């Protein structure tokens, strides 16, 4: 099983590539014990694939389509591949925790990507025009850490490899973009990464369509992703892949690590579908590399073919052996998620002919990879010069592009947000939200988004733009179809593509249940996605309990780094958008009403910025008799009840709790000014779970809410039957 | 466009059925205005499809394979179909809310299913051996209500149709099994229904394999489901469909209502994949009925073909016109989710030749459908006789089967649960859980389940059973693959198949984020699924924040009708299982530790049944100086802190809050006996969000927890860094 070393062989392999329907049984390498480094083939050429015919002549890596450029002998390639394998083995062994199997199997494709194919600058992981790489099978993160280390990224030094999975290290147990520059996104929960990659590729296609000029291809990069069997089983990956096919994301290239092993054993026990045929049904181009373990030329040729298909994303099924090189554990689930153990590490060193100490990078490998630092710097310098030229010719476009590239919001952008007076017409906050969305789209160059097939209910269409589609990628209304989970994960990819891209996405609030996996990742990976969640309570009425959120507000209030807003009217909706846009590293959820709400006296954008604030008060000296609190559609009810009680001579304060998280971040003095400790007569009202309100109403106060499922009936009727009424607030307050 | 009326035509249509890859552009009926009742073809035959060659000669509907049985003239069929259409139109119109489009388009397949194909007993919707029908596109519920009405179900009388979507009615806005007998499951959130149907079909295949005998096919029914474009876009449906193909669920027959319209308009804007080709890649048999509007024979022939394919599920793509019959709104999104309006209702009456008053069922239609009540009663009587005979011959099997059919737990089953003493070895609650699972599987005939590819981590294998697979459906370990959402929804289907089926399913607790859509439906539809959720906190260690739950406990505590358990040791784990098994209409979640925990003095099954209870106390007169509370792995920490404080002379009570929901259901007197109001020095500790704990610690108490994301490091290190320690509890208590 010597690696093929001729370009001809690579082309022959391509001709014999996967035919849909034939993917099932044959896993040629799975049961054989991998060869060691014993063989030595003569020095040979690796392909250097061209980027695009328009590349400037100064391009560091430019090459004509059919030529190959000598970069390394097969010996160095194999040594580099084994370096990657052993860095993974050694780090997992030292941590006594982690997943060595994937890095050992995927090292060849990883090497080819980072050493031969991808364009990046190790010293500036945030260089805008870099190729993006996503390890969707995030448990194999040591693959990526090893590659970043070899490529010269400062984020993964030798000491980082040695502190893999330890407290405070930059090499956590799964790739985390906020810990490790060079990781584009945060993966681990399976299927997220491929969906993030679809978002990254969407962003590239959109920006290229908007900003590229006949004489300047200023936006131009690929997105690569490695997915595993687990990713391909997850529904979210099918959702995202269906959209990628629909959108024709030709610069998205996915490698499917077809190793036929998952945690529970052989994939035969639960995963016998024809993955390649499914992807073809989804509109992808597919290729099968049958020998992913040593078929370097097959891998190279597949990438070349993938790049030649510009109107479809490509899925390259690469059949590999999990734990390749381990004589006793390869091709078994035991190598998936545990350290090999000292004995098997020794056996693997023996088998692969690896005489080095743990964590050693041989000098010739080091020397071979060392070119990436200067080459990367040159690539970025070249692009910066290109941008300077572009700016001269196209100053308006350049201003927008730079806002997106560097994440600087245009001065005074927030002045575009609408404000309202109590005389403004009553309206549903979903409609008021649409006014904000359209106002923001006019002033924020990177603002784009859409709905999961509910645009006309969520009120999310940007009226001045068309649809982002295969033929019109410059447009900004994204049609996600009924794919909430994929939508959220795609938006994470968009947000993490460039700091000035501000994606929003929409569905009914209750369907956050479908996309919570992606939303939590938004919060964790610091992607400032704006979640426009309408139909936020029993107020949606007749659709009934499957569509009526109850526990959702509290469930997101408890989620770290997530801003949960429930605005009561136009000013609060505008305020929520202002905070959401400013929080580029913290996602926001806006829970919005289906039903009309009045514009309340006392609401303000500034109030929203504090999270909780006094909307009305007839007390003095910070000593009201009673504090009524509400959010969203129930703030009106609290205000009505206060009016009644004031008529009876009571000093009543009404507080809007539009965002708990923001209120909790205020000073103690501010909190005391809103909720004085001495005032224990407190009543909250919210058409949702009462859980958590105890922290504001206190032991002597009372939370009015809904701790059961909703019902199918006209909204007003449900409100009445469930006691979400001013009468109930008044009665409850009087009972205190 | 007259309906074909010859059997020959039906066969010709079959020959011309969908070829994968050709499904995209052709929607022959979509743009044409439907024909009215003007044409009158001669009385004709409808196929009556055979159930199985083994049916007894007394079978009410028995027929040989190739014969057709005269049941209705085409005139009556079309009148019946239009009755269904107008009942939907009229109910939506009266409610001024709802979705007329689907019922109008799907009425033909609905009629054929309920009038010609399915076996059921209208007067006992729970008859065990009935065919199951699921409307996965649940918004079209008026289709099902109209069919149940015509078939003679007591749950949908004329007055129920007239109170569609009104408070207290049995005809809510989406099908709800707990409101409307005859609805098998609760749908509306898209994709759930098809996954439920996979669970129903799995249950049938499993029970048939276990209980059928060469001389008695006691379990034998089909599962039918109608899915829409929306269902097919959702990832959960792909997950479930992949498993259905893998398992070869030959008696699952799905109708894909291919109407090319979703809420945002033509599916061309977001859904251009080849659905049939995808299903074939997933291992399904596919058929295309090109004329779903009037092609009755095509539909009949497709069902016949589907039944003939016994080793694969079948997906019949039925191309229909949404809102068929409405001259101005058919084939547009405007007919999807709104009443037609009086004018268009009139136009549709005109167009379809429908002279009747709203809600009228013509006498000949009524008369035609009236046979289903006696026939259904006969079917059930026949089956009951069969069961009696079966019981005589196979008393042991019959006892198990009856336990499953009627949901009576075997006497003394709970004695099988293990108990522990403080001297029992420390162990992870996930391991203790496995002891319970295996103990229960021995005594509960309907106990089965599995994991989403984490069986060896979740510790969920039943050691005395093999895998439920295509060739071994009698076994009880279900291998779900990495498909959490599909797993949850499939388990809902299993639970709702028979009251004695008790499914459990497992993954890491954090990945409830992937399956929350299904879990909420479990709670709403009263499916007593047991969710075995391991790796329940930062205690999982090195895998890091993507894998560490924080907000999950509180998020489920807030979910109505869901029991959230976090047991601390073996006795509490056994207690949680006891309550979970007893609660057949309330799902349970067990959050279980990865790490070892000691068997604590004072824990008990009886304590768990109260939700919160005193584990240890050195106070008297219900007046401790301090109350410490904890759950799960932190109860040990609370106990340790109490020991230290008692050494200093304090009277300290330790309370386990293993299930908040159960504690909240106790009497005020019991609550006071555990948490006396007078004692305000209270500290809680839990390795999760503090949100919600305020209701137990009170305004003066303190909740120790984690309100940020976790980290990748060994578990002990994270516990220390995050202050989840006895030292912190002691210091906090002293500061109070």
Q: What is the pairing mode between strands B285-289 and B314-319?
A: parallel
Nearest-CB residue to B485 (from A235, A481, A557): A235
H/E element holding B317? strand B314-319
Across the range B659-681, mean pLDDT stands at 98
Query: What percent of chain B shows pLDDT beyond 70?
Result: 90
Q: Which residues of A161-184 are buried (b: 16+ CB within 10 A; e: fewer)?
A: bbbbbbeebbbbbbbbbbbbbbbb
**Residue B634 annotated to the active site:** no
Q: Considering CB atoms only, which of B191, B524, B709 is closest to A545?
A: B524
- Burial-class residue A229 by CB neighbours within 10 Å (0-12, 13-18, 19+): buried
What is the chain A residue with the closest CA to B273?
A: A282
Cβ–Cβ of B544/A238 closer than 8 Å?
no
The partner residue sitting opposite B694, judged by closest CB among A20, A558, A695, is A695
Look at residue B561 in the predicted model and tell me its pLDDT.
98
Spatial CB neighbours of B68, under 8 Å, sequence gap ≥ 6: B7, B45, B46, B47, B48
Model confidence over B132-142: pLDDT tens digits?
Answer: 999 999 999 99
State yes or no: pLDDT of B307 exceeds 60.
yes
Q: How far is A392 from chain B (nearest CA, A)?
A: 37
Q: Is A516 on the interface with B (CB under 8 A)?
A: yes
The CA distances from residue A182 to A154, A155, A159, B537, in Å, are 9, 7, 17, 28
Q: Are strands B447-451 and B502-508 parallel, antiparallel or unpaired?
A: parallel
Classified as helix, coil or strand, B248 is coil
Q: Going by C-beta distance under 8 Å and a sequence separation of 6 or more, which residues neighbour residue B192?
A: B136, B138, B185, B186, B236, B489, B492, B517, B518, B521
- Best mutation target among A282, A480, A482, A542 (most B Cβ atoms within 10 Å) is A482
Q: How confident is the model at residue B281 (pLDDT cuts 50, 70, 90)?
A: very high
The catalytically annotated residue of A93, A234, A304, A484 is A484
Q: What residue has token string 């993490």?
A: A496
| A550·B558 Cβ contact <8 A | yes
Assess whether pLDDT exceeds 80 at residue A21: no
Closest by Cβ to A513, choosing from B278, B511, B517 = B517
Of A270, A456, A560, the CB nearest to B550: A560
Whether the pLDDT of residue A136 is over 80: the answer is: yes
Average pLDDT over residues A602-617: 98
Distance CA B238, CA B232 (A): 7
Per-residue pLDDT reduced to its tens digit, A33-61: 333 333 333 333 333 333 333 333 333 33
Enumerate residues 6+ apart whose C-beta is below 8 A from A25.
none
- Residue-level pLDDT at A71: 63
Token duo for residue A722 = 């469930």
Alpha carbon distance A312, A252 (integer Å): 8
User: pLDDT at position B16, please?
Assistant: 35
The whole-angstrom distance between residue A413's C-alpha and the CA centroid of its chain comes to: 25
Give the orientation angle of helix A296-308 with respect to helix A7-15, to 10 degrees: 60
Report pLDDT for A72.
Answer: 78
The β-bridge relationship of strands B563-565 and B596-597 is unpaired
Tens digit of each residue's pLDDT (9 = 90 or more) over B471-520: 999 999 999 999 999 999 999 999 999 999 999 999 999 999 999 999 99
Q: Which residues from B are below 8 Å from A467, CB to CB?
A: 269
Task: List CB contacts of B60: < 8 A, sequence separation 6 or more.
Answer: B375, B378, B379, B382
**Which pair of structure tokens corresponds to residue B592?**
């279980």
pLDDT digits (tens, 9 = 90+) for A433-486: 999 999 999 999 999 999 999 999 999 999 999 999 999 999 999 999 999 999
A33: alpha, beta or left? (left if phi > 0; alpha if psi -120 to 50): beta
Q: Residue written as tokens 């303000």?
A: A604
What pLDDT, on a 0 to 100 scale, did the predictor assign at position B263?
87
How far apart CA B714 and CA B541 sit, in angstroms, is 5
Instruction: Provide φ and ψ at B644, rounded to 5°.
Output: -65, -45
CA separation for the pair B121, A115 (Å, rounded): 68
Query: How many angstroms away from the CA of A605 is the closest CA of chain B?
Result: 26
B139 phi and psi angles, rounded to 5 deg: -60, -25
- pLDDT tens digits for A528-560? 999 999 999 999 999 999 999 999 999 999 999
What's the pLDDT band for A24 if we cut at 50, 70, 90? Answer: very low
Has residue A291 got a pLDDT over 50?
yes
Residues in B closer than 8 angstroms to A140, CB to CB, are none
Mean pLDDT computed over every residue of chain B: 92
DSSP B117: I
CA-nearest of A281, A194, A201 to A233 is A194
Contact criterion met (CB < 8 Å) for A278 and B275 = no
**CB-based contact B602:B694 (threshold 8 Å):** no
User: Is the CB of B188 less than 8 angstroms away from the CB of A695?
Assistant: no
Distance from CA of B676 to the nearest CA of A (A): 13
Q: How far is A453 from chain B (nearest CA, A)?
A: 5
H or E, element range at A169: none
Residue partners of B634: CB distance under 8 A and separation at least 6: B685, B686, B687, B724
* Residue list for the binding site of B: 99, 139, 188-190, 229-230, 259, 261, 336, 430, 457, 511, 535, 543, 547, 594
pLDDT for res A6: 37
Q: Is the model's pLDDT at B654 over the cut of 70?
A: yes
Asked if A54 is an interface residue toward chain B (Cβ–Cβ < 8 A), one would say no
Q: SS3 letters for A582-650?
A: HCCCCCEEEEECCCEECCCCCCCHHHHHHCCEEEEECCCCCCCCEEEEECCHHHHHHHHHHHHHHHCCC
Q: Do A274 and B263 touch (CB under 8 A)?
A: no
In chain A, % of residues over pLDDT 70: 90
Between chains, do B234 and A483 touch, taking CB under 8 Å as contact?
A: yes
**Under a CB-based contact definition with an 8 Å cutoff, are residues B142 and B162 in contact?**
no
Residue-wise pLDDT tens digits, A561-601: 999 999 999 999 999 999 999 999 999 999 999 999 999 99
For the segment A376-393, what is each residue's pLDDT rounded down to a tens digit?
Answer: 999 999 999 999 999 999
Instruction: Please answer whether residues B301 and B13 qualify as being in contact, where contact means their C-beta atoms are separated by less than 8 angstroms.
Output: yes
Do B233 and A246 count as a contact with CB atoms less than 8 A apart?
A: no
What percent of chain B has pLDDT above 90? 90
Residues 611-650 of B with CB under 8 A from A: none
DSSP per position, A504-556: EEEEEGGGHHHHHHHHHHHHHTT---EEEEES-SGGG-TT-GGG--SSHHHHH
Give the model confidence (pLDDT) of B413-427 as tens digits: 999 999 999 999 999
SS (H, E, C) B356-403: CCCCCCCHHHHHHHCCHHHHHHHHHHHHHHHHHHHHHHCHHHHHHHHH
Question: What integer is the mean pLDDT of A261-273?
Answer: 93
pLDDT, mean of residues B545-569? 98
Q: B691 and A557: CB-CB below 8 Å?
A: yes
Between residues 646 and 705 of chain B, which touch chain A (CB distance below 8 Å)?
A: 689, 691-692, 694-695, 698-700
CA atoms within 13 A on the CB side of A133: 27
- A708 CB neighbours in chain B (<8 A) are 560-561
Partner A contacted by B243 (CB < 8 A): yes
pTM: 0.92
Q: Is the pLDDT of residue B26 over 50?
A: no
Q: How far, in Å, CA of A325 to CA of A78, rounded?
A: 12
Of B423, B440, B430, B419, the C-alpha closest to B534 is: B430
Instruction: Give the active site residue among B204, B217, B397, B484.
Output: B484
Tokens of A606: 């500034």
pLDDT, average across residues B599-627: 98
The DSSP result for B592-646, as a single string, is E-SSEEPPPTT--HHHHHHSSEEEEE--STT--SEEEEE-GGGHHHHHHHHHHHH
* Residue of chain A whose Cα is closest to the Cα of B722: A167
Residue A430 backbone class (left: φ over 0; alpha: ψ -120 to 50; beta: rest): alpha
**B555: contact with A, CB 8 A cutoff:** yes
Token pair of A459, please?
């009120």
B663-672 own/partner pairs: CB under 8 Å, 24+ apart: B663/B610, B663/B611, B663/B612, B664/B611, B665/B611, B666/B610, B666/B611, B666/B612, B670/B610, B672/B622
Q: How confident is the model at residue A64 (pLDDT cuts 50, 70, 90)?
A: very low
Residue of A nearest to B545 (CA): A524
**Residues B176, A545: C-beta atoms closer than 8 Å:** yes
Q: Could you tell me which of A456, A604, A372, A721 has the C-alpha nearest to residue B166? A: A721
């Amino acid at each position: 099983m010597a690696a093929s070393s001729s370009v001809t062989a690579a082309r022959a392999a391509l001709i014999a590539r996967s035919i849909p329907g034939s993917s099932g049984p044959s896993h040629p390498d799975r049961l054989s014990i991998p060869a060691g480094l014993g063989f030595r083939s003569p020095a040979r050429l690796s392909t250097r694939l061209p980027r695009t015919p328009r590349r400037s002549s100064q391009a560091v890596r430019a090459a004509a389509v059919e030529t190959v450029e000598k970069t390394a002998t097969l010996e160095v390639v194999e040594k580099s591949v084994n370096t990657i394998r052993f860095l993974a083995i050694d780090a997992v062994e030292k941590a006594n925790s982690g997943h060595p199997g994937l890095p050992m199997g995927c090292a060849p494709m990883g090497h080819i990507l980072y050493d031969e194919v991808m364009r990046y600058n190790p010293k500036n992981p945030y260089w805008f025009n870099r190729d993006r790489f996503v390890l969707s099978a995030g448990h194999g993160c040591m693959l990526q850490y090893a590659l970043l280390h070899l490529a010269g990224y400062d984020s993964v030094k030798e000491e980082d490899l040695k502190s893999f999975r330890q407290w405070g290290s930059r090499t956590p147990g799964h790739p985390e973009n906020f810990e490790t520059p060079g990781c584009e996104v945060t993966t681990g929960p399976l299927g997220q990464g491929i969906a993030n990659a679809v978002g990254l590729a969407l962003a590239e296609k959109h920006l290229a369509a908007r900003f590229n000029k006949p004489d300047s291809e200023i936006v131009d990069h690929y997105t690569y992703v490695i997915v595993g069997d687990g990713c391909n089983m997850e529904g979210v990956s099918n959702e995202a892949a269906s959209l990628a096919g629909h959108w024709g994301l030709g610069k998205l290239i996915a490698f499917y690590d077809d190793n036929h092993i998952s945690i529970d054993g052989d994939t035969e026990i639960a995963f016998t579908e024809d993955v390649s045929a499914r992807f073809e049904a989804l509109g992808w181009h597919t290729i099968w590399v049958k020998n992913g373990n040593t078929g370097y030329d097959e891998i190279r040729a597949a990438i070349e073919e993938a790049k030649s298909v510009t109107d479809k994303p490509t899925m390259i099924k690469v059949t590999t052996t999990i734990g390749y090189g381990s004589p006793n554990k390869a091709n078994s689930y035991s190598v998936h998620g545990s350290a090999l153990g000292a004995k098997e590490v020794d056996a693997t060193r023996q088998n692969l002919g690896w005489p080095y100490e743990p964590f050693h990078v041989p000098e010739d490998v080091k020397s071979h990879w060392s070119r990436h630092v200067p080459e990367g710097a040159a690539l970025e310098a070249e692009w910066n010069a290109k941008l300077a030229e572009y700016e001269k010719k196209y100053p308006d476009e350049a201003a927008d592009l730079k806002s997106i590239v560097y994440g600087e919001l245009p001065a005074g952008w927030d002045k575009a947000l609408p404000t309202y007076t109590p005389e403004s017409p009553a309206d549903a906050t979903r409609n008021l939200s649409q006014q904000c969305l359209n106002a923001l789209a006019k002033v924020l160059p990177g603002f784009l988004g859409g709905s999961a097939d509910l645009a006309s209910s969520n009120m999310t269409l940007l009226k001045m733009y068309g649809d982002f589609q295969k033929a019109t990628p410059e447009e900004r209304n994204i049609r996600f179809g009924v794919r909430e989970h994929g939508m959220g994960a795609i938006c994470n990819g968009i947000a993490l593509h460039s700091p000035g891209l501000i994606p929003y996405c929409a569905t009914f609030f209750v369907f956050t249940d479908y996309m919570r996996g992606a939303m939590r990742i938004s919060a964790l990976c610091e992607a400032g996605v704006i979640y426009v969640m309408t139909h936020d309570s029993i107020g949606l009425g007749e659709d009934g309990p499957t569509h009526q959120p109850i526990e959702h507000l509290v469930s997101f209030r408890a989620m770290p780094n997530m801003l949960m807003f429930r605005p009561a009217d136009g000013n609060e909706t505008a305020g929520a958008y202002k905070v959401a846009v400013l929080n580029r590293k913290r996602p926001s959820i806006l829970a919005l009403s289906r039903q009309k709400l009045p514009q309340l006296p006392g609401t303000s954008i500034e109030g929203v910025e504090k999270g909780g604030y006094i909307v009305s008060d007839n007390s003095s000296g910070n000593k009201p008799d009673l504090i009524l609190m509400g959010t969203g559609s129930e703030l009106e009810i609290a205000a009505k009840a206060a009016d009644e009680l004031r008529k009876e001579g009571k000093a009543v304060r009404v507080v809007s709790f539009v965002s708990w998280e923001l209120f909790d971040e205020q000073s103690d003095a501010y909190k005391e000014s809103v909720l004085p400790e001495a005032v224990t007569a407190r009543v909250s009202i919210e058409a949702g779970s009462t859980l958590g309100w105890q922290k504001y109403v206190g032991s002597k106060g009372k939370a009015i809410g809904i701790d059961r499922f909703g019902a199918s009936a006209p909204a007003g009727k449900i409100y009445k039957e469930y006691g979400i009424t001013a009468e109930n607030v008044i009665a409850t307050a009087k009972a205190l």
